[in-house]
Amino acid sequence: MSISIQRCTSLPELFQAIEGIKPPIMYLAGGTDLMVLLKANLIPDSAWFDISDIPDIKGITVKDDMLVIGAATPFDEIYPDANVLKWAKALSEAASNVGGPQIRARGTIGGNIANGSPAADTLPALASLGAQVNLLSARGERSVPIEGYALGNRRTVREADEIISSVSIPIRAGIKGAWKALGARKALAISKISLAVSAVLEQGSFSYLRIGLGSVAATVRRAPQAEEVLLNGGWNRETLEEACRIIQTEISPIDDIRSTAEYRKAMSGVLLHDALISAFGEAPTR
Amino acid sequence: MNKTFKLQFTLNGRPTEAMINPSARLLDVLREDFGLTGTKEGCGKGECGACTIFMDGKAVDSCLVMAIQAQGHSIITIEGMAKEGRLDKVQEMLLQEGSVQCGYCIPGMVMSARALLNRNSNPTLDEVKYAMSGNLCRCTGYHKIFKAVLRAAQIEREAKSKI
């Protein structure tokens, strides 16, 4: 195994450095996934470029009704951010639970997406929020919806010369949300299943509601049938029960090293129940 | 090893430079190039926290950082904790409380605890647990470690209120 590595501190420097480089190219930010693969000898001979100190892809801003989070922003700067708490509560909760403190200090939202794992903690939250992934290369910029970013486990739409520059989350007045997951322990365990809900509730009816699920398919996915129950029927005991029942029938998880299909199905209903009640602070009153 | 990268950074408060292997981990450069062997390697994949150091004041796992990523940054290791021959209050309390058994995890524990107390001088037990959830100890059961961190916080608060 041999790798080369070059440190880049600006986007022009990066794009110049990668010109003519033969893939595989690895973009190193927080290193919390790549360094683990390197240690396990699971990295092919490759050219690495350190993008952790490029200011243009760091930080959190609000512009034009969008919350924009730079791809190289670490989790511990995302979860306590006032704008993230206000406009993307589900994402804040997910980011505060990734790995442990040391992982959150280095690991980035862009890396969580780029890694292409269906177990990535922030993906269900981003799917519930209708986030866009912004890709940048010397050729230009493009955006893809978070649900279209991964094509399968570890396969994504990103081309070798592209980096994820940021994620954009539409700002929706009155949005609430929550993220829930189950793992072998609270910290530093890859989730057996994770679920996020983001919703706008107005006088008992939902004007916006999306559910994102992690670790139940090869990529992050939504729960359209459960969403429809709540969008059509509003917020009451009957719709809550029905949504938590139907979500178990509309997903088809697998048995793997971390859990079983049966457990994941059963827990999808429990997590949806807990996430909705946590998002709105109480059970439905009628 | 081909030491072709000139690393310039602040190490335990001192501006430092050295020629290093560009594809080395920060953990290895600290231990092997600088002889700072207080930082331990446990799992080597970010799950145990034995290699915890400060990078710009934040607790991070040095096994997950490439050495070249430290360029221009401030790194503090366990060797930088004692000041003028006096242990950090967290270290002192770990000794007093009898929190240490084999000791392998302790440098990492000290770094995570210090990072917490630097931003929160009055943590609850739950906040201590959250801040130290990235550090594993296979000997002690954690109880005495948490107790030492809470006592260190209390003593530092009392010292401050006297000034």
- The string over B50-89, giving b where at least 16 C-beta atoms fall within 10 Å of a residue's C-beta and e elsewhere, is bbbbbbeebbbbbbbbbbbbbbebbbbbbbbbeeeeeebb
The CATH number assigned to the domain holding B123 equals 1.10.150.120
In chain A, the percentage of residues whose pLDDT exceeds 70 is: 100
Q: Is B131 on the interface with A (CB under 8 A)?
A: yes
Do B101 and B71 share a domain, yes or no? no
Beta bridge partners of A150: A156
Mutate to test the interface with A, among B56, B66, B116, B135 (most CBs of A within 10 A): B66
Do B62 and B98 share a domain, yes or no? no
Secondary structure letter of residue B29 according to DSSP: I
Among A202, A216, A211, residue whose Cα is nearest residue A229: A211
Beta bridge partners of A213: A195, A221
Beta bridge partners of A60: A69
Do B74 and B11 share a domain, yes or no? yes
Among B98, B155, B108, residue whose Cα is nearest residue B131: B108
Q: What angle do CA B137, B141, B147 make, to 5 degrees?
A: 100
Residue span of the structural domain in which B108 resides: 89-162
Find, in chain B, the residue whose alpha carbon is nearest to that of A35: B64
The last residue of a domain, from among B36, B61, B80: B80
Distance CA A32, CA A15 (A): 23
Residues in chain B: 163
From chain A, pick out residues whose CB is under 8 angstroms from the CB of B130. 101
Q: Is B55 on the interface with A (CB under 8 A)?
A: yes
Q: Between chains, do A101 and B115 touch, taking CB under 8 Å as contact?
A: yes
Question: Is residue B163 over pLDDT 90?
Answer: no
Do B70 and B107 share a domain, yes or no? no
Nearest to A105 among B25, B60, B132 (CB): B60
Q: Between chains, do B44 and A39 touch, taking CB under 8 Å as contact?
A: yes
Query: Mind telling me how many Å the CA of A116 is from chain B's nearest CA?
Result: 18
Do B46 and B29 share a domain, yes or no? yes
Q: Between chains, do A35 and B46 touch, taking CB under 8 Å as contact?
A: yes
Find, in chain B, the residue whose alpha carbon is nearest to that of A76: B58
Do B132 and B65 share a domain, yes or no? no
The CATH number assigned to the domain holding B51 equals 3.10.20.30
Confidence of residue B1 (pLDDT cuts 50, 70, 90): low
Distance CA B9, CA B65 (A): 14
Q: Between chains, do B131 and A101 touch, taking CB under 8 Å as contact?
A: yes
Considering its fold, how many domains does chain B have in total? Answer: 2
The last residue of a domain, from among B53, B80, B107: B80
Q: 3-class SS at B69?
A: helix
Secondary structure letter of residue B15 according to DSSP: E
Question: Is residue A36 over pLDDT 70?
Answer: yes
The last residue of a domain, from among B80, B102, B133: B80
Distances (CA, A) of A133 to A117, A147, B81: 15, 9, 41
Mutate to test the interface with A, among B52, B61, B126 (most CBs of A within 10 A): B61
Among A176, A173, A143, A138, residue whose Cα is nearest residue A158: A143
Q: Which residues contact A213 (CB under 8 A, 6 or more apart)?
A: A124, A127, A193, A194, A195, A220, A221, A222, A223, A251, A268
From chain A, pick out residues whose CB is under 8 angstroms from the CB of B71. 7, 53
Secondary structure letter of residue B94 according to DSSP: H
Q: What is the pLDDT of residue A9?
A: 98
Distances (CA, A) of A246 to A25, A237, A285: 42, 14, 21
Q: Is B155 on the interface with A (CB under 8 A)?
A: no
Q: What is the pLDDT of residue A30?
A: 97
Torsion of CA A93, A94, A98, A101, to 10 degrees: -20
Do B14 and B59 share a domain, yes or no? yes
Do B95 and B151 share a domain, yes or no? yes
Sheet holding A175-182, edge to edge: A175-182, A193-202, A205-214, A221-222
List pLDDT tens digits, range B89-138.
Answer: 999 999 999 999 999 999 999 999 999 999 999 999 999 999 999 999 99
- DSSP string computed for A166-232: EEEEE--TTEEEEEEEE-SSSSS---SEEEEEEEEEETTEEEEEEEEEESSSSS-EE-HHHHHHHHH
Among A236, A237, A211, A206, residue whose Cα is nearest residue A225: A211
Q: Identify residue B159 by its one-letter amino acid code.
A: A
Q: Which residues contact A189 (CB under 8 A, 6 or more apart)?
A: A183
Q: Which of residues 26-45 of B touch A (CB under 8 A)?
A: 44-45
List pLDDT tens digits, range B21-42.
Answer: 999 999 999 999 999 999 999 9
Q: What is the pLDDT of residue A1?
A: 65
From chain B, pick out residues whose CB is under 8 angstroms from the CB of A6. 22
Do B10 and B76 share a domain, yes or no? yes
Distance CA B148, CA B116 (A): 13
Q: What is the mean pLDDT of residues A70-74?
A: 98
Q: Which domains does chain A have, with CATH numbers?
A: 3-50 (no CATH), 55-170 (3.30.465.10), 175-280 (3.30.390.50)
Confidence of residue B75 (pLDDT cuts 50, 70, 90): very high
Q: Identify residue A60 by its one-letter amino acid code.
A: I
Question: Is residue A242 over pLDDT 90?
Answer: yes
Beta bridge partners of A3: A46
Peptide bond preceding A55 in cis form (omega within 30 of 0): no
Q: Identify residue B74 by its one-letter amino acid code.
A: S
Do B76 and B96 share a domain, yes or no? no
Distance CA B74, CA A154 (A): 34
pTM above 0.90, yes or no: yes
Q: Is B81 on the interface with A (CB under 8 A)?
A: no
Do B59 and B98 share a domain, yes or no? no
Do B55 and B112 share a domain, yes or no? no
Q: Half-sphere exposure (CA, 13 Å, Cβ side) for B150?
A: 13
> Treating both helix axes as pointing N-terminal to C-terminal, what angle do B143-162 and B106-119 enclose, rounded to 10 degrees?
40
Q: Between chains, do B61 and A106 touch, taking CB under 8 Å as contact?
A: yes
